[in-house]
Amino acid sequence: MKIYRKNETKTAEKTDSFLNRDVKGEGVKKEKVASNIFFISVCAVLIMIVIGTGIKFLNQGLTMMRLERQKVELEEKIAEEKKSIEGLKKDLLDSKTPEFIEKQAREQLKMVKPNERVYIDLERKQ
């Protein structure tokens, strides 16, 4: 217990109570500031996680769309190549026939049958 002079008692009590209030108020303010900083930090981390996850999903979605387009293009190319293979197989089978051999001999080698006459149109442009 503090000893005060008669006149100083009221002033000293007011000063002590004022100081105590300031000290208590600063403690409360410090706790509020600390809790606000913690809350803001937690919110910032959560926002970064949400944004990062969103970006990751967006990138994956774009990659999926690009791969789907490639898949469709490759399937179309496979279908074209299968048609080409079928045509080549048909040509291979046809190449063994006498008619095909004769046609190729006439067109590419300019061969003719014995006793056959060939007429050439001189006015026709080649």
Tens of pLDDT, residues 96-117:
999 999 999 988 998 888 888 8
**Helices marked H in 1-126 — which ranges?**
8-94, 98-108
**Residue type (1 letter), 110:** K
Q: Residue 2's pLDDT band (boundaries 50, 70, 90)?
A: low
Q: Map out the domains of the chain as residue ranges.
A: 33-109
Has residue 61 got a pLDDT over 90?
A: yes
Residue with tokens 């006459």: 117
Q: Residue 48's pLDDT band (boundaries 50, 70, 90)?
A: very high
Token pair of 23, please? 């000290």
Tens of pLDDT, residues 22-46:
445 556 677 888 889 999 999 999 9
